A and B are shown apart, each in its own frame.
Chain A
Amino acid sequence: MLKDFLELSIDEINNVFNEAFNNMSEEEKKELYNEANVFDYITPKPFTSNSFVVKSLNELIKEKSLWKLDEQKIGIARKENALAA
């Protein structure tokens, strides 16, 4: 018997949410984030002088698998990071 979301307790919400992610493959996560337009709502944090030395934006993008970050956004991010550095 399926429950309505508002019938769940806080603990149950916590459990079903975490279970959903535990059972999700990386591919499924990518698809979910794409469909939820998550990438329209995240922006790179400006690098501090220290972190700028440690990581380049390209490495960061590769590491986080920002598959949907297009060239224009990468350009903006680079500009912001250059200004912050």
Chain B
Amino acid sequence: MIELGEGMLVVMNGYHGTSKENATVILQTKKWKITKDKNYLGDGVYFMEGSKKWACIWAKKGKHHYVDAYVLEAEIRVENETIFNLAYDKWYFLFKLARKKLEEEFQDFHVGDGAAINLACEMLEKGKFKGVKPLIVKVVKAFIPFNDGENSKHKGKIPSQQIQIAVREKGLDAIKLKEEMLPCSRTS
């Protein structure tokens, strides 16, 4: 991390899985499409931190099932205090409060986690919390564990896991895209 006066600049290495065609367009235009994924981190451009493998798995086996999966690599630079980090108690607690509120409000509906994250971010950004400085959340980050299954040879306690990042700041200036697109091999 780099010291920046009051805050700390965090640099994350992100991998964005997509199709060859989409990757080419993004590289040429430097424009990203905001994803709204119901079960994950809310509005944003999604990356897997530190893992080309997970980005390829998402591109090939996620909702789009790209047969020509490619990955774009980027550095994501934001101040530490602008990261809605779901591994931290306070951020996770805020997420749970927002989720509970929405579930009470819309009892006959499935409420995606993204709704709760969006709501919490909006409340922070609009200064809805009395006595608290408004805060623009630039990145939402979560560690997501995966059960390897009963047949896994891995017998340790630490499951396979991925780190998802959704960049949600307007303008997406935090994303420093590298000028190369990486193909996903059959095994990656």
Contact = CB atoms under 8 A, between A and B. Distances in A.
A76 B130 CA distance: 39
Interface string A1-12: 011111010100
A44 B36 contact: no
Nearest to B97: A17
Nearest to B6: A4
Contact of B132 (A2, A21, A41): A2
Contact of B111 (A2, A4, A41, A60): A41
Given A8-B90, A8-B132, A42 B111 contact: yes
Contacts of B111: 41-42
Interface in A14-53: 14, 16-21, 24, 29, 32-33, 35-38, 40-45
B90 A10 contact: yes
A44 to B, nearest CB: 6
A50 B10 CA distance: 52
Interface residues of B, number: 36
Interface string B89-124: 110011001100110011011111011001101111
| Interface of A, helix, strand, loop or mixed by DSSP | helix
A41 B184 CA distance: 30
B25 interface: no
B118 A37 contact: yes
Contacts, number: 109
A36 B110 contact: no
Given A4-B81, A13-B97, A17-B94, A41 B42 contact: yes
B108 A20 contact: no
A37 B106 contact: no
Nearest to A77: B109
B61 interface: no
Interface of B: 36, 38, 42-43, 81, 89-90, 93-94, 97-98, 101-102, 105-106, 108-112, 114-115, 118-119, 121-124, 126, 128-133, 135
Given A37-B118, A44-B109, 15 more contacts: A2-B131, A2-B133, A3-B133, A4-B132, A5-B132, A5-B135, A10-B90, A10-B93, A17-B94, A17-B123, A19-B130, A20-B129, A33-B119, A41-B115, A43-B109
